[in-house]
Amino acid sequence: MVFPFNVVAFDLDGTLADTAPDLTDALNHVLGELGRPGIPAETVRNLVGHGARALLRKGLAVTGGSTEELVERGFPLFMDFYGRNICKGTAPYPGVEAAMDALAQQGVALALCTNKPESLAVQLIDALGWRGRFRSIVGGDTLPVRKPDPAPLFKAIMDAGGGRAAFVGDSITDADTARAASLPLVAVSFGFSDRPVAELGASAVIDHFDELVPALYQVKR
């Protein structure tokens, strides 16, 4: 059977890898520098998905209040600390490399569409040894707009060669992006969603990456 998609685009944080430990360390480092208490990784999981500034803004909000001045003060500290510690506690989700191999064997091009700043996304993909797997990488600052605007997803797909495409993600941001792009979303149930994944309105939900290829056959359009 011919594979139903030419390009599969992936979100990064909470989809390909559990980045919460390193994001938490970086956020707590910055909060400490700004005189705030740290917050646990379980809370941080619910704050990721709208980019680094949004993470900082939400981290400040739950530890005493956020101002744009504090966000701007903290942002370079976050970029510096996280950049130096980006892959210490971060772990790929089980089966993700086998799933990427299976897609590549079908001739599918892999694209990355994350709200992480592009430089950090490239750095993390490099650290995970995945640079050769991705035909395109689009971050939250690659274009003037970020997810849930569909433009970054379209760019990631076109840069990867275009054609029939599906998106794989973990959060409401990804669901809104896929909807805006009129593309199918496969949602992962193990990511950073701040609400039950069943409520995202995804075309399919997977609990393990072994289910990705069958799910893509099922959602083909």
Ligand X SMILES: O=C(O)COP(=O)(O)O
Q: Which residues bind ligand X (CB under 6 A)?
A: 11-14, 48-52, 55, 114-116, 171
What's the min distance (Å) between Cβ of 67 and Mg ion? 26
Eight-class DSSP state of 129: T
Longest dimension (CA), the chain: 58
- Contact flags string 135-174 toward Mg ion, x per CB under 5 A: -----------------------------------xx---
How many other CB atoms are found less than 10 A from the CB of residue 199? 11
What's the min distance (Å) between Cβ of 171 and Mg ion? 5
In degrees and rounded to multiples of 5, residue 109 shows phi and psi of: -85, 135
Alpha-carbon distance 146 to 77, whole Å?
22
Is there binding between residue 14 and Mg ion (CB under 5 A)? yes
- End-to-end Cα, the chain, rounded Å: 14
Nearer to ligand X, 114 or 142 (CB): 114
Is there binding between residue 22 and Mg ion (CB under 5 A)? no
Residue nearest to Mg ion (CB): 14
Token digits of residue 150: 């569909």
Is there binding between residue 11 and Mg ion (CB under 5 A)? yes
How many other CB atoms are found less than 10 A from the CB of residue 204? 18
Q: Among 130, 124, 98, 95, which Cα is nearest to 111's?
A: 130
Alpha-carbon distance 214 to 69, whole Å?
48
Measured in whole angstroms, the distance separating CA 130 from the mean position of its chain's CA atoms is: 15
Residue that the structure tokens 């490099």 belong to: 126
Nearer to Mg ion, 46 or 85 (CB): 46
Nearer to ligand X, 170 or 211 (CB): 170
Residue 11 annotated as catalytic? yes
Nearer to Mg ion, 3 or 190 (CB): 190
What's the min distance (Å) between Cβ of 170 and ligand X? 6
What's the min distance (Å) between Cβ of 108 and ligand X? 20
Which active-site residues does the annotation give? Answer: 11
Q: Which residues are at the interface with Mg ion (CB under 5 A)?
A: 11, 13-14, 49, 170-171
